[in-house]
Amino acid sequence: MNEALIWSSLPAPAIIIDADENILDMNPAAEGFMNNSAKWLRGQPIWDRLTVDAPMEKSLARARANGTPLFVNDVDVGPGTRPPLVCNLQFAPVQGHEGCMILLISPRELAGRVNQSQTVKSAAKSAIGMAEMLAHEIKNPLAGITGAAQLLSMNLSNGDLELTDLIVAETRRIVKLLEQVEQFGNLSAPERKPVNLHDVLDRARRSALLGFGAHMKIIEDYDPSLPMALGDADQLLQVFLNLIKNASEAADPKEGGTIRLHTFYEHSYSLRRADGSGQSLPLQVEVIDDGPGLPPEIRGDVFDPFVSGRENGTGLGLALVSKIISDHDGWVSVDSVPGKTRFRISLPQAPRKQKESN
């Protein structure tokens, strides 16, 4: 079999590095990961083009000198032009070429997101069951409590009115929480059609600026050639509204902040399902803010139901985002440090033969 055909067919990014740690060659998967062509990258220092959040020089030098493989697990790796991915790295000597090493990159973030989406779906079923069981038993008595408190307030002094107002406010808050749980569980399956993501983002931006995001500056950074997505426009609008609202609520209410809506096309992104089938996810939407970032203790669990970094948050907004994107066969991830939080949505492209629906 043709060796070049095998090389180009490798699904994992593979890069050959010479004795001086310059790039000799890479396969098409690596070109996609590096977001650049092999022709342009050949001869360039590998560590100028690939960032690895781990000390590599001494370990790689020993592996090269001894002619032995080197394995590095669970490190952040990226080309520097986009958020890094959690990857496993494998170095091995190239037989017959002294000093040359082959580097295999195995991104783990997509697999983690697939597993997490299944967890979210399972948690969603629990939330649905809880809502169905408790909604009738709790919401009706709460309505009675609210009505009774309002009647009592008609004959009370101003000092006692504070107590009845508190009863009314708290019962309404509980009812609102139950309604959010019901909304989380009662979303119908998406009616997927060709969708112009920029139109949906513009609707979300205008709605935010008129309400919860009035104190924010929202910047559009769109790829004008972005093809149609295959999705449910109303459900995707809910996703973008939730992400913009999260960013707006994280910002200082007086000073505000900046949210950037960024779209681009990335042909190398795909989702591999448990049954072995694959789904290309080339359409990328990023919601980036300059707020304080996610609290470290919840950063890995923000898409789980009832996990929130806000004092009075319900923890359902991002769980709803994850559920909707999972139902679209897409992928959502987050990269957050103080001063910059980036939520990234990856979606499938609509078949070219379909036309945009009105």
| Most confident segment among 47-51, 95-99, 341-345 | 341-345
- The length of the chain is 358
- Output the pLDDT for position 75: 80
Could you tell me if 210 and 340 lie in one domain? yes
User: Which residues, in sequence order, are bridge partners of residue 349?
Assistant: 229
Rounded CA-CA distance 55/15 in Å is 19
Report the candidate in 226, 357, 214, 358 with the shortest Cα–Cα distance to residue 286. 226
Q: Examine the fold and report which residue of 46, 80, 108 is the final residue of a domain before the chain moves on.
A: 108
Radius of gyration of the chain (CA): 25
pLDDT > 60? residue 299:
no
Reported confidence tier of residue 193, pLDDT bands at 50, 70, 90 = very high
Q: How far is CA 57 from CA 47, 61, 347, in A?
A: 10, 6, 37
Rounded CA-CA distance 110/276 in Å is 14
Could you tell me if 202 and 238 lie in one domain? yes
In a domain, 175, yes or no: yes
Q: Which residues of 167-176 are buried (b: 16+ CB within 10 A; e: fewer)?
A: bbeebeeebe
In a domain, 69, yes or no: yes
- Model pTM? 0.56
Residues 346 and 280 sit within 8 Å (Cβ to Cβ): no
| Most confident segment among 52-61, 92-101, 137-146 | 92-101
For 70-87, how does the pLDDT look when each residue is reduced to its tens digit (9 = 90+)? 888 778 888 876 667 778
Reported confidence tier of residue 308, pLDDT bands at 50, 70, 90 = very low
Chain-centroid distance of CA 258 in Å reads 19
Could you tell me if 97 and 143 lie in one domain? no
Range in 51-55, 62-66, 195-199, 201-205 the model is least confident about: 51-55
In a domain, 45, yes or no: yes
Reported confidence tier of residue 261, pLDDT bands at 50, 70, 90 = very high
Phi-psi region of 315 (alpha: psi -120 to 50; beta: other; left: phi over 0): left
Could you tell me if 207 and 330 lie in one domain? yes
Could you tell me if 250 and 271 lie in one domain? yes
pLDDT > 50? residue 2:
yes
Q: Examine the fold and report which residue of 108, 129, 160 is the final residue of a domain before the chain moves on.
A: 108
Range in 134-138, 200-204, 246-250 the model is least confident about: 134-138
For 146-186, how does the pLDDT look when each residue is reduced to its tens digit (9 = 90+)? 888 888 888 777 777 878 888 888 888 777 767 666 665 55
Q: Examine the fold and report which residue of 186, 211, 234 is the final residue of a domain before the chain moves on.
A: 186
Report the candidate in 209, 238, 13, 204 with the shortest Cα–Cα distance to residue 105. 13
Could you tell me if 128 and 87 lie in one domain? no
In a domain, 352, yes or no: no
In a domain, 277, yes or no: yes
Could you tell me if 182 and 202 lie in one domain? no
Reported confidence tier of residue 227, pLDDT bands at 50, 70, 90 = very high
Contacts 24+ apart (CB under 8 A), 328-333: 328/190, 328/192, 328/230, 328/231, 328/232, 328/235, 328/236, 329/271, 329/279, 329/281, 330/231, 330/271, 330/281, 331/110, 331/113, 331/114, 331/269, 331/271, 331/281, 332/113, 332/303, 333/83, 333/109, 333/113
Chain-centroid distance of CA 349 in Å reads 17
Could you tell me if 86 and 128 lie in one domain? no
Q: How far is CA 65 from CA 60, 99, 307, in A?
A: 9, 8, 48
- Output the pLDDT for position 219: 95
Per the structure, the count of domains in the chain is 3
Rounded CA-CA distance 266/34 in Å is 11
In a domain, 357, yes or no: no
The residue range of the domain holding 334 is: 193-347
In a domain, 41, yes or no: yes
Amino acid residing at 59: S
Could you tell me if 207 and 336 lie in one domain? yes
Could you tell me if 152 and 223 lie in one domain? no
Average pLDDT across the chain, whole number: 80
Residue 230 belongs to domain with CATH number: 3.30.565.10
pLDDT > 50? residue 313:
no
- Output the pLDDT for position 312: 46
pLDDT above 90 coverage of the chain, percent: 28
Residues 349 and 228 sit within 8 Å (Cβ to Cβ): yes
Could you tell me if 14 and 61 lie in one domain? yes
In a domain, 355, yes or no: no
pLDDT > 50? residue 314:
no
Residue 23 belongs to domain with CATH number: 3.30.450.20
Could you tell me if 135 and 59 lie in one domain? no
